[in-house]
Amino acid sequence: DWAALAPEFLKDEELDADLAGEAVETVQAVMRSDIWRRARASKTCLPEAPFQICWNTGDDVFEGDDSLSSGRPVVVRGVIDLVFRESGGWVIVDYKSDRSPREGLDRLIDHYRPQLELYARAWGEATGEPVLETGLYFTRVNRYCPL
């Protein structure tokens, strides 16, 4: 039962247990979403998928960051909220819980786009397989926005 487990999960994450009701509602909404159904129908579905890849700091992925222009190798690590494989390649989804995404949704999409581009590049290089789609799932408005 999600309601019984939520306070303990929140405590483990050092969050207020009073958020349990909202957390359960969010999880249930995500589990009813079309993107979650797509993921569950896939042969390979990886929630909270860790990745690690070594890039040279001179690579274009670090363009614009003068502190990372030495050309030396750097290990990039992260955890992708949801990755699943459909026919022909991978789909990457990042969950966002921004407080009021209805106003300025385009701005938020632009803000998070580089993160998804990095995920797609890292996942594609790590797996040797194409990433067909990336998207943001805004939990507050129960909306998936493919990029």
Q: Which of 47-56, 92-101, 130-139 is predicted least confidently?
A: 92-101
pLDDT at 42: 95
Amino acid at 137: Y
3-state helix, strand, coil in the chain (%, to 5): 45, 30, 25
pLDDT at 136 over 70: yes
pLDDT at 61: 55
In terms of phi and psi (left: phi > 0; alpha: psi -120 to 50; beta: otherwise), the region of 22 is alpha
Query: Quick one: what percent of the chain has pLDDT higher than 90?
Result: 39
Catalogue the long-range contacts made by 105-108 (C-beta closer than 8 Å, 24 or more residues apart): 105/138, 105/141, 105/143, 105/145, 108/136, 108/138
Task: Tell me the per-residue pLDDT of 7-33, one tens digit each, with 9 for 90 and over.
Answer: 777 877 777 877 777 778 878 888 889
At residue 35 the predicted structure's pLDDT band, cuts being 50, 70 and 90, is very high
Task: Tell me the per-residue pLDDT of 49-98, one tens digit each, with 9 for 90 and over.
Answer: 999 888 776 555 555 555 555 667 888 889 999 999 999 899 999 998 87
d(CA 32, CA 58): 43
Looking at per-residue confidence, does 5 or 128 come out higher? 128
